[in-house]
Each structure stands twice: as structure tokens, then as C-alpha cells.
């Protein structure tokens, strides 16, 4: 699985002008499943998200997790993270899982995150979404869960 994690002061997702998910301080996580991904990958991604130490401690060092700071997660599906532009200027998305597997694994990430963390918001799989955020830092971390 591919994820792009952004530490945010706030973030929200809207669909057709309606907010479907919003958080204050926490992590905006854009998620893309790849064809070989499994439920195990989804579990390892959630483990990493909850333990990732990218919030400042009292010394200003990145030493605290979203759990430690009482932050929230906003998890959004984004198959375009698998884009390949090596063959030209138009991206190919053959590296992304098909819609059925992509939806299943995205829903698995959401379910697992909600089982383990009290504040989880989400986008809508397959919808045309607008994502607004205030990146804190800025801090943006790419992850690949193999």
C-alpha cells in the first residue's frame, strides 16, 4: 500500500459541496492500494499511522504520535498515488489496485483505524472529492507498506 501522510492543523473533505469528513489537529492520510496488497498490508499501515512519531515533544523534536497528542485521522482514498509517468506525460494508473480490491482494502484500513483510535474521519471511495488542509510544519511523509 502507498500512503501520503500529512501532519495537519485541520483538514476536510467535501463531495458535491458537502463536508463528508473533517478533523482538527492530526493526520491527513491519502491511501492507495496496489494489486498485490492484502488485509495484512492494511493492518501494517494502520499500525504505522498510529505509531508514527511526527508531532513535536516539549523539546520541539518529532517524538510523539497522533495517539500521544490526542489527534485525529482523516483517511482518503487516492488511487493516483500509484501514477506512473515514466512512459510520457500522461499518467498510467496500472499500478493501482482495481476498484473492488481498492475499495475492500480502503474499507479495511478505515475499520481497523476506527477499532483502534477514537477520532477517524474519511472521504468517500470513488467520489470526486475536494480536500482542504492546513499542513502543519509543513510535514509530509510518503509511506510504502510492503
Q: How many domains are contained in the chain?
A: 1
Give domain status of residue 61, yes or no. Answer: yes
Give domain status of residue 8, yes or no. Answer: yes
Is 6 in the active site? Answer: no
Residue 1's SS3 state is coil
pLDDT in tens, the chain (146 residues): 999 999 999 999 999 999 999 999 999 999 999 999 999 999 999 999 999 999 999 999 999 999 999 999 999 999 999 999 999 999 999 999 999 999 999 999 999 999 999 999 999 999 999 999 999 999 999 999 98
Is 38 in the active site? Answer: no
How is residue 60 annotated by DSSP? Answer: S
Is 78 in the active site? Answer: yes
Dmax (CA) for the chain in angstroms is 47
Q: Which structural domain, as residue segments, surrounds residue 72?
A: 2-86+96-144
Active-site residue, from 38, 80, 93, 130:
80
Give domain status of residue 44, yes or no. Answer: yes
Give domain status of residue 91, yes or no. Answer: no
Active-site residue, from 78, 93, 94, 140:
78
The CATH number of the domain holding residue 49 is: 3.50.80.10
Q: How far apart are CA 127 and CA 146, in angstroms?
A: 26
Predicted TM-score of the model (pTM):
0.95
Give domain status of residue 36, yes or no. Answer: yes
Give domain status of residue 46, yes or no. Answer: yes
The dihedral of CA 81, 21, 113, 9: what is its sign?
positive
Amino acid at each position: 500500500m502507498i500512503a501520503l501522510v500529512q501532519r495537519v492543523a485541520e483538514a476536510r473533505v467535501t463531495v458535491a459541496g458537502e463536508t463528508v469528513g473533517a478533523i482538527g489537529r492530526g493526520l491527513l492520510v491519502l491511501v492507495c492500494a496496489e494489486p498485490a496488497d492484502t488485509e495484512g498490508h492494511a493492518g501494517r499501515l494502520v499500525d504505522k499511522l498510529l505509531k508514527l512519531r511526527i508531532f513535536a515533544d516539549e523539546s520541539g523534536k518529532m517524538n510523539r504520535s497522533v495517539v500521544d497528542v490526542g489527534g485525529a485521522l482523516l483517511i482518503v482514498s487516492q488511487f493516483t498515488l500509484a501514477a506512473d509517468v515514466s512512459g510520457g506525460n500522461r499518467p498510467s494508473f496500472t499500478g493501482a489496485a482495481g476498484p473492488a480490491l481498492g475499495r475492500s482494502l480502503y474499507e479495511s484500513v478505515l475499520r481497523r483505524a476506527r477499532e483502534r483510535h477514537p477520532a477517524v474521519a474519511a472521504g468517500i471511495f470513488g467520489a470526486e472529492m475536494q480536500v482542504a488542509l492546513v499542513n502543519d510544519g509543513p510535514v509530509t511523509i510518503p509511506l510504502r507498506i510492503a
